[in-house]
Structure 1
Amino acid sequence: MLNQKELESKVRHIQIYSRKAVLEMLAGEYRSSFKGMGIEFEDVRGYQHGDDVRSIDWNVTARIGRPHVKTFMEERELTLYFLVDVSASGEFGSSEMSKKEVMARIVALLAFASVHNHDNVGLILFAGDVEFHLPPRKGKNQVMRMVDHLMRHPTKSKGTNVKAALEYFQQVRRRRCVAFLFSDFLDTGYERTLGDVAHAHDLICVSIRDPRESELPSAGMLEFRDAESGELRTIDCKDGGLRARLTEQSERHQRQLKDLCHEVNAELLDISTDDDYLYEIIQFFRERYTRSADV
């Protein structure tokens, strides 16, 4: 458990690093991936230099004789919501950072990129129930509040309830927006609600995992405590059968999540705590842009 000084240092480091990374690397990728793709059709206007040719309204162009483009609501104002799992399992981390800290860093990167493009960002923190809601606003101070709440929030409820978080989000956000759902998805019973949200919003599931959740160290007998249930167990890490079962179970979980996202038309960004998460985000943005260009 971090003391207050260490926590303040981590929060500040995340804020400084994220703003620097956005300015140097991420802002353009974010804009290409999200801006101008069209969430809600609004109007048409005359073509201007720099407009995306994919947005040209050919019927209006042919009728008027000059190029016109479709305009969408997010050109004026795009809203991003971050639904973040702060359950106890997020405290686990076998390398430099826990799953929770990786989530916080990615949220900060995406949120700073969004405010750099004058968009709104909001935050919902959940565990066994929804525990905190910060309605969407613009500006870097909003992002700093988000990171601060995410890193300092004392989780009150046990377990993970993805369904409850999605249902709450549906209640507070009726209008279509971009929603990032951060979790290790160690939960069940949320599949249908995930599909409902993906139908109504642009939903991106961000799966955060740790390599030790799929591969045990060859370290003999180790004692583990389940972060959410508190159950204490002793296991033999040299047991080949146990190691194989753990790996198979983890791989099956990831396949099921991937299949579910594909089925409901949600996107999936899968990140391990030992990944270069900035690289993974940029690659995701580029692939998203490529898919939209092919439509």
Structure 2
Amino acid sequence: MKKKDKALLKRVRQIDIKSRKVVTELLGGEYKSVFKGRGMEFDEVREYMPGDEVRTIDWNVTARTGKPFVKRFIEEREQSLFFLVDMSASGAFGSAKQTKNEVAAELCGLLAFSAIKNNDRVGLIIFTDEVELFIAPDKGQHHVLRIIREILSFEPKGTGTRIAGALDYLGRMVKKQCVTFLISDFQDEDYDRQLKLAAYHYDLIAITISDPRELELPNAGLVELCDAETGEQILVDTASAQARKRFNTAAKAHRLEIRDQLRRLNIDQIDVRTDRDHVRDLVRFFRTREQRQTL
């Protein structure tokens, strides 16, 4: 086995072990309480018992038998969960322990194992400036490990980001209601209309991934910055407090713009950083959403 393949296998196993532990201890129950399934489906009829709601009485069966019977319903639990993962060139960046793409793989592992534990199906769409991979939703451990492996080993053809195209593709391929996680650093523009449509048709959650060096420049003298997606290069004197301030102000404005856009469309956001424990970010999201649903 090649050294690269061994490293990939080791990383997949690490995510597998970590995800199982976190799902067992933290996320499994949280997932089920937040994503409750698509509705209720008929199960059976049984004789009326004191305390049953009158509106559940099955009048046809009651008329035939001469005894009151009620309809019993159960939650239609099974549903599909889709990951839309941005694998553009900027995702390969990481100044902390992990790149943004590695964080995306871990997030998908945690959420996918939570999904299959609750008998849900999981699918994947990888995109750059075009959709490059589609994996239909399925169940089972092997399927989840395949999704993690695909994200970790994926070598994209494109370098840019086109969120609008990925959302259009989702709309063509997935006609039923599903839970959709859009995972990206959102270094893109002109996708507001598609985002609004997707939020209307699906339970859409945005996971925004950023790296500390994208948000704040250190004092490191002359630094050549390169936009991984466009190839544009600029020379910045990071020893200049004014230059650092301009960079930090622009980065903050971009983050606030994304946050305001998602809030305006009532799309939940999970803000994740490569230098922070994203398990806590997921747990915080699940608990906040569960509290909101019980109000």
- Shared fold, TM over 0.5: yes
The farther-off stretch of 106-115 and 18-27 is: 18-27
CA contact (8 A) 1:58 1:68 kept: no
For residues 157-216 of structure 1, give each alpha carbon's deviation from its aligned partner in whole angstroms, at most 9, with x where no partner exists. 120000000000000001111000000001001111000000001000000001111101
| Alignment-mate amino acid for residue 118 of structure 1 | N
CA separation in 1, counterparts of 2:165 and 2:210? 21
1:207 aligns with 2:208: yes
Q: Which runs of 5+ in 2 are unaligned?
A: 47-51, 60-67
In structure 1, what is the Cα distance between the partners aligned to 2:54 and 2:248? 54
- For the structure 1 residues 60 and 227, does the alpha-carbon distance in structure 2 shift closer, same or farther, using more than 3 Å as the test? same
Percentage identity across aligned positions? 39
Give a deviation string over 1:189-246, Cα, whole Å, max 9, x none. Answer: 1111000000001000000001111101111112233212223332111222221122
What is the SS of the residue equivalent to 1:3? helix
CA contact (8 A) 1:215 1:243 kept: yes
- Give the corresponding residue for 1:271: 272
1:161 aligns to what? 162
Distance in 2, matches of 1:194 and 1:35, equals 23
Query: 8 Å contact 1:45–1:71 — kept in the other structure?
Result: no
CA deviation profile, 1:127-180 (whole Å, cap 9, x unmatched): 010000000001111100100100111100120000000000000001111000
Greater shift in the superposed pair: 223-232 or 157-166: 223-232
Q: Which amino acid aligns with 2:13?
A: R
Distance in 1 between the 2:129 and 2:173 partners?
18
Q: CA RMSD in A?
A: 2.4
Shift of 1:291: 0.7
**Mapping of 1:16-31 within 5 angstroms?**
16-31=17-32
Distance 1:7 1:224 in 2: 29
- For the residue of structure 1 that corresponds to 2:91, the secondary structure is helix
CA contact (8 A) 2:43 2:73 kept: yes
Q: Distance in 1 between matches of 2:148 and 2:256?
A: 30
In 2, are the aligned partners of 1:81 and 1:177 still within 8 Å (CA)?
Answer: yes
| TM-score for both structures, normalised by structure 2 | 0.87
* 1-structure distance, mates of 2:257, 2:284: 22
Deviation at residue 249 of structure 1 after TM alignment: 1.5
When structure 1 is superposed on structure 2, of 265-274 and 203-212 the one drifting more is: 265-274
- Cross-structure match for 1:60: 55
Q: Quick one: distance in 2 between partners of 1:125 and 1:276?
A: 24
Query: Which region of structure 1 is more displaced relative to structure 2, 262-271 or 231-240?
Result: 231-240
Query: Counterpart of 1:244 in structure 2: which amino acid?
Result: K
TM-score, scaled to structure 1: 0.87
Check the 8 A contact 1:209/1:271 in 2, yes or no.
Answer: yes
Worse-superposed segment, 227-236 or 112-121: 227-236
**Structure 1 pair 102–230 and aligned structure 2 pair: CA distance change class (3 A):** same
Matched, 1:4 2:5: yes
One-letter identity of the residue aligned with 2:230: S
Tell me, what secondary structure is at the counterpart of 2:270? strand
Structure 1 position 61, deviation (Å):
5.8
State how far apart, in whole Å, the 1-side matches of 2:280 and 2:45 are.
37
Match of 2:188 in 1: 187
Aligned match of 1:125:
126
Are the counterparts in 1 of residues 58 and 71 from structure 2 also a CA contact under 8 Å? no
Q: What residue ranges of structure 1 are gaps of 5+ in the alignment?
A: 48-56
Q: CA deviation at 1:4?
A: 3.5
- Do structure 1's residue 242 and structure 2's residue 237 form an aligned pair? no
**How many angstroms apart in 2 are the aligned matches of 1:276 and 1:270?**
11
Aligned residues: 280
SS across alignment from 2:186 = coil
Is contact 2:57–2:71 with CA below 8 Å preserved after alignment?
no
DSSP-derived class of the 1:189 partner: coil
8 Å Cα contact 1:31/1:117 also seen in 2: yes
Change beyond 3 A, Cα 1:203–1:218: same
Contact 2:130/2:165, CA 8 A, preserved across alignment: yes
**1:222 counterpart residue number:** 223
SS of 1:154 mapped into structure 2: coil
Between 1:91-100 and 1:5-14, the stretch displaced more is 5-14
- Partner residue in 1 for 2:62: none
Equivalent position of 1:151 in the other structure: 152
Give the match for residue 80 of structure 1: 81
Match of 1:281 in 2: 282
Distance in 1 of aligned mates of 2:54 and 2:194: 38
Which one has the largest radius of gyration?
A: 2
Does the 8 Å CA contact 1:60/1:68 hold for their aligned counterparts? no
